[in-house]
Structure 1
Amino acid sequence: MPLDAITFDLDDTLWHNGPVMAHAEPTHYQWLAEQIDAHRGADATPLAEAFPLEAYQSIRASLMARFPLSRGDHSWIRERAMRELLTEHGLSSDEAAQWAAAGFEQFMALRHEVALYPEVVPMFDAWARRYRLGIITNGNVDVRRLSLDHHFDVIILAGEMHASKPDPRPFLSAVAQLGTQPYRALHVGDNWEEDVMAAQRLGMHAVWIDAKDEGERELPPRVHRVTHVRELPEVVARLDEQTR
């Protein structure tokens, strides 16, 4: 039977995410440090001096170890890390919570400054008339901020489910909500284990976006390799022919 559903990863599948995070990570923390320093006054130790960016990152790593079920919930980890850091810096619990929320919103604004590959929107415009479409991501991008949500029937943030990919649960949830069966669904992603093998083990078809050009390898059944999302329509058309 032909395909009737396609699910997608986001980061490094629909856009190049490295530059986005390289900008967002230091920029939002610099913003937070400037706000806190102004709030506490000139006599207080600057936040970046007491807690450089590396300290903030270390607190996030510690939280992931302390709360393993929440390690994939990047939004919770980031905001909780800022709260703990600011409390240790001398702010009250209420102040720390307020400024952590503001710092997280600053990060999220920067996090969504993505440049979609130019082929993405026309591809979705065409496929929305033919397939049911979904998102399965370990990240915390809010697709509604990208004006893409109208293309998708299902959006799953796996980390918030406490079931980050390659856990099968987000895939099974997507397939069920899309009203299909794994063998009639295709998942597209850049991560070999989290996207490709996780979907393939459930009986789904999978397309590996080999964005890093790791090279040809022996592919298991139902797995296809491309180097860019622009190659997807040809693969999908071929799969539709093969599965009729």
Structure 2
Amino acid sequence: MGENAAGEATTPFDGLLLDVDDTLVDTRAAMVAAGTAAVAALWPDVAPEVHRAAGTHFHQDPGGYFTKFTTGEMAFAEMRAARVAEMVRAHGLTEVADVATRFEEAYRPAFRDSVRLFEDVEDLLEQATAAGIRVGALTNSDERATAHKLELSGLSQAFVTVMTTDTLGFGKPDPRVFAHACELLGVAPERTLCVGDHVEVDALAATRAGLHGVWLRRPGPGSPRREELAADDEALARAHGIPVVSSLAEVGPILTGGHASRPERPRGPAGLGPGGASGPDLGGGRAGR
């Protein structure tokens, strides 16, 4: 934390929690590419457009199996196998023996080759480090998959702590997840900025847990739900005083108290969330990991 000669804080935050998938790492693009490659490997005789459609289906997870993983209802491997099975049914693919295992074997190298870090990540991490701000990662994926992604993207040593769904057995938006992440980070919630690409699961849930949430709405294609509800998500963020940014470059000034002001959360009546609204029933879902 930056201090002046009187020992007073010169930055509005002591901690920064960052979501991983589609916030730091372009997981959506990597998953679609890897899913497409795996489908092509297992079903080479179907048309290329089917390969792409099925790979996209696997990423989008319309059955909501990733949400069941984040709430502790399914193990990670079970969740992945269920998504493969649903993809096979949805696209009329022929039955393949031991399909989940064979899909993952084809998927892994393609995912490894497709993972990339967003260009705005390193500058934000450098700004936070220079300001003495402790940085952690908070993701709904599992520990092994997260460690692999961070290693591939060069971030394996970038964080004070990395918290996954495995840590407590459930994930965001449960407020206990944010409280525990702050404990691991060693920073009070009210002095912690939390940034993620899902307005409800990341930004709003963090805000309700006493942190300061920021919604990262990157430009480009998203899941059908995100595109369809983009206006609603924007309104939800504004109603709760949550800053909306399109790049992590816009987070730096918020974090260090530069050109953008510290986020303010409207205060609501007792028993209600910020802004006086009980808000939607938050699931842990997004297009899955």
TM-score by length of 2: 0.60
Partner of 1:237: 256
Higher fraction of helix: 1
Contact preservation (8 Å) 1:72, 1:159: no
Q: Distance in 2 between the 1:122 and 1:224 partners?
A: 20
State the Cα deviation string for residues 203-225 of structure 1 (Å, max 9, x = none).
1011111225755763425x322
Aligned residues: 218
Residue 227, structure 1, aligned to residue 234, structure 2: no
Q: Bigger relative contact order, structure 1 or 2, given CA contacts below 8 A and separation 6+?
A: 1
Match status 1:153 vs 2:160:
yes
Query: What is the CA–CA distance in structure 1 between the aligned matches of 2:68 and 2:240, rounded to whole Å?
Result: 36
Deviations 1:36-81 (A, max 9, x none): x9xxxxxxxxxxxxxx959x95x99496799895457554421466
1:108 and 1:231 mapped to 2: Cα distance? Answer: 33
Q: Hey, what's the Cα distance between the residues in 1 that align with 2:64 and 2:217?
A: 31
1:67-118: CA deviation from partner (whole Å, max 9, x where unpaired): 8954575544214666998xx9585xxxx3xx74453254233334233222
Mapping of residues 58-137 of structure 1, within 5 Å: 61=63, 69-70=71-72, 74-79=76-81, 89=95, 91=97, 96=98, 100-101=100-101, 103-112=103-112, 113-129=114-130, 130-137=132-139
Q: Give SS of 2:238's match.
A: coil
1:25 to 35, 40, 43: 35
State the Cα RMSD in Å: 4.1
Q: Tell me whether 18-27 or 171-180 shows the greater mean CA deviation.
A: 18-27
Question: Which amino acid letter does the alignment assign opposite residue 122 of structure 1?
Answer: D
Q: Is the 8 A contact 1:73 1:162 kept in 2?
A: no
Note if contact 2:254-2:262 (Cα within 8 Å) is conserved in structure 1: no
Task: State the structure with more CA Rg.
Answer: 1
Name the SS for the 1:211 alignment partner: coil
- Give the SS at the match of 1:232: helix
Q: 2:65 touches 2:79 (CA, 8 Å); kept in 1?
A: yes
For the residues of structure 2 that align with 1:25 and 1:161, how far apart are their CA atoms?
29
Structure 1 segments of 4+ aligned residues over 6 angstroms from their partners: 62-68
Gaps of 5+ in 1: 38-51
- Contact 1:72/1:162 (<8 A) preserved: no
